[in-house]
Structure 1
């Protein structure tokens, strides 16, 4: 028996829609892009597009999931400061997706919002990856160990998210500079900041 329901049918078309939305939002911005443009790219009407999602907010949440999945494919594991910076750098190249992320993360504080579950899963997963990375670096002596990796992971996520928020209102800001500063602060006092790079 064929599966039914908004998430089970038309998976290929859903993927096509999400890929189109990712590309269009990245190029033209989240706030400035009409979902009609995404629909047209996929040869659908707006009602046809929405047939594949429960609501506009659900579609936008799925775009964020696709963005995160794409980033995980390109960066399956934090290997050093350079890979952390690369992730931040990608944000600067896709401002529309940064806009979407910041807007949806604020809206996701509402337990009834479709993005609430996504962010509730996202942050523990990201912190877990960073904790694993920090433990490795602490064992190598490249990162200070007087603060637990769990606490440092919270700080690193806060810096990355805060930088994105500030960058949206001041595009002259270099999003990598605060990351470089954090990496320098994480270096043990006896080591030079440059030693933290791979």
Structure 2
């Protein structure tokens, strides 16, 4: 219930009363479980990320396999509009001064860039791509494409194939850096 409300209204426009009503609770009952709207938001965001981590399994794929995992994640996200909307709305809102999810999203982007950068470094070490790759730039570009596609998909789902476009961009970013095929 909180996921849907935050996803459709954003943090500032969502009310605890509405969330409680949708959950079949009183506002006092909701506040018994979550001490504040901010605590509820934090729990919603943690739930979203924990489900992503569970999908990854005990150890993340290495090198280019991690980029393939990202494309698979995008494909799964196309079946989870509510989660995509929640992330998109709250991440955009988090750039405003004093937003309670700002540090969450700052840390999330730092961590995601680090993961993609590490996977690209592994791809260099494994010989999957040439070592002259600007790993930080490519990592930032991949994440930017994924997030930008989510906005476009939410506005026109039939017009945007997030997974295919993400794959196409990753392939284009790495095209000149892949080892020659014999």
Q: Same fold (TM over 0.5)?
A: yes
TM-score range with shorter-chain normalisation? Answer: 0.7 to 0.9
Partner residue in 2 for 1:134: 120
Quote the Cα distance in structure 2 between the aligned partners of 1:97 and 1:137. 30
Change (3 A) 1:144 1:187: farther
1:29-60 C-alpha deviation (Å, 9 max, x unpaired): 932895235522xxx32331133335435423
Question: Which of 171, 174, 194 is equivalent to 2:161?
Answer: 174
1:51-80 C-alpha deviation (Å, 9 max, x unpaired): 333543542342122111210121152441
Q: Which runs of 5+ in 1 are unaligned?
A: 1-19
1:140-159 C-alpha deviation (Å, 9 max, x unpaired): 33235434211111111101
Quote the Cα distance in structure 1 between the aligned partners of 2:145 and 2:35. 33
Instruction: Confirm whether residue 46 of structure 1 aligns to residue 27 of structure 2.
Output: yes
Quote the Cα distance in structure 1 between the aligned partners of 2:54 and 2:144. 23
Partner residue in 2 for 1:70: 51
1:87-107 C-alpha deviation (Å, 9 max, x unpaired): 112211110111111111111
Q: Which runs of 5+ in 2 are unaligned?
A: none
**In 2, are the aligned partners of 1:61 and 1:115 still within 8 Å (CA)?**
yes
Taking CA–CA contacts closer than 8 Å with sequence separation of 6 or more, which of the two structures ends up with the larger relative contact order? 2
1:4-47 C-alpha deviation (Å, 9 max, x unpaired): xxxxxxxxxxxxxxxx755xx4xx9932895235522xxx3233
Question: Which of 97, 100, 103 is equivalent to 1:117?
Answer: 103
Paired residue total? 168
**In 2, are the aligned partners of 1:144 and 1:188 still within 8 Å (CA)?**
no
Change (3 A) 1:162 1:118: same
CA RMSD of aligned residues (A): 2.9
Partner residue in 2 for 1:16: none
Pick which of 164-173 and 48-57 moved more.
48-57
Q: Could you state the TM-score of these two structures normalised by the residue count of structure 2?
A: 0.78
Q: Could you state the TM-score of these two structures normalised by the residue count of structure 1?
A: 0.72
Quote the Cα distance in structure 2 between the aligned partners of 1:102 and 1:153. 19
